[in-house]
Chain A
């Protein structure tokens, strides 16, 4: 009986050790991914706004503008200022988008789930006639 208990105890401690290894490796993966994403991101130059999956409009990040995104009852006030884009006021109840920090790096986004609004930073390389610098 004592031997049986010993085996169980050994198994428990092995599992506890595996737990620590598992959690540590998960955290490591997240950390590495975060570093890769953070250092690979560069400043974008275009703000793309989509509402409910459809393109709402594209705006240059280099010019200061104010865009009113209206979709039914929902509205979000997007402000582009000094190369950064942020949502100033919004009709959504949670206010997640308006409390989001300003975005400027390529791939960064502000997402408003209640209004289905997605604001994304992109880098458009060929500056066509629509983006006059």
Chain B
């Protein structure tokens, strides 16, 4: 085990970040499905995060997620959007990591929990920023769409982990 990050790993993580960024852009082109409730998204970049979490480690997943968020908020978002996304990303990654450790659920189940937690984080930030606890009502709709998005992301991520075995491709 080398202590420092190998060149291959840096390059691979850079590639993952770029892919996540691109997926975030693709997602921003998709018109909202249900305009009455903001925050409904497929979470396409999370496919990459899930993939890195499963094929490498939580540290790398967190790095990719954070760098992706910073760049995408600078490119397409604003400070408010960054706060919402950051809270969602941190909470969902923490919960996904914990659930993965329990080894009770498959990637899809872990992803569903991540999707719901992403929305919980966003709603919590919205409640604090707007000082309105009533926003919690949105959680009802958001948790259902979060579950659906989580299943989609989980299935895609599972395929990716199976088909692109990074541990076998490179010797890190």
Q: Is residue B109 contacting chain A, with contact meaning CB distance below 8 A?
A: yes
Partner of B144, one of A27, A100, A116: A27
Q: What separation, in Å, do the CA atoms of A12 and B113 have in the docked complex?
A: 18
- Sorting the interface of chain B by its residue count into under 10, 10 to 19, 20 to 34 or 35 or more gives 20 to 34
- Complex Cα distance, B104 from A15, in Å, reads 6
Stretch at the interface among A2-10, A67-75, A106-114: A106-114
Known: A109-B132, A111-B132. A26 touches B35 (CB 8 A): no
| Complexed CA–CA distance, A12 and B106 (Å) | 7
In the assembly, what is the distance between CA of A57 and CA of B42, in Å?
Answer: 37
Contact of A94 among B35, B112, B130, B143 (CB under 8 A): B35
Taking CB atoms, residues of chain B closer than 8 Å to A18 are 104-106, 109
Q: Is the interface of B mostly helix, strand, loop or mixed?
A: helix
| Structural contact, A30 and B144, CB atoms closer than 8 A | yes
A133 to B137, CA, bound (A): 31
Q: Are B38 and A96 in contact (CB under 8 A)?
A: yes
Over the window 119-154 of chain B, the binary record of Cβ atoms lying under 8 Å from chain A Cβ atoms (1 yes, 0 no) is: 000000010001110110100100110010001000
Residues of B within 8 A of A120 (CB): 132, 134
Number of interface residues of A (CB under 8 A): 29
Tell me, rounded to whole Å, the shortest Cβ–Cβ distance linking B79 to chain A.
Answer: 13
CB neighbours of A12 from chain B (8 A): 106
Q: Is B36 on the interface with A (CB-CB < 8 A)?
A: yes
Distance to closest chain A CB from B153 (angstroms): 13
A131 at the interface (CB under 8 A from B): no
Bound CA–CA A96/B126 (angstroms) = 16
Query: Given the interface contacts A99-B36, A118-B132, does A23 sit within 8 Å of B109 by beta carbon?
Result: yes
Task: Select which of B104, B112, B113, B130 is within 8 A of A116 by beta carbon.
Answer: B130
Quick one: which of B70-109 are within 8 Å of A by CB? 80, 104-106, 108-109
Give complex CA distance A120, B132 in Å: 10
Closest Cβ of chain A: how far from B26's Cβ, in Å?
A: 20
Q: Which residues of B contact A33 (CB under 8 A)?
A: 140
What distance in Å separates the Cβ of B16 from its nearest Cβ neighbour in chain A?
A: 25
Is B108 a contact of A53 with CB atoms below 8 Å? no
**Is the C-beta of B47 less than 8 angstroms from some C-beta in chain A?**
no
Give, as a whole number of angstroms, the nearest-CB distance from A26 to chain B.
6
Which B positions have Cβ atoms within 8 angstroms of A? Answer: 35-38, 80, 104-106, 108-109, 112-113, 116, 126, 130-132, 134-135, 137, 140, 143-144, 147, 151
Interchain residue pairs with CB less than 8 A apart (5): A34-B140, A50-B132, A101-B36, A109-B135, A120-B132
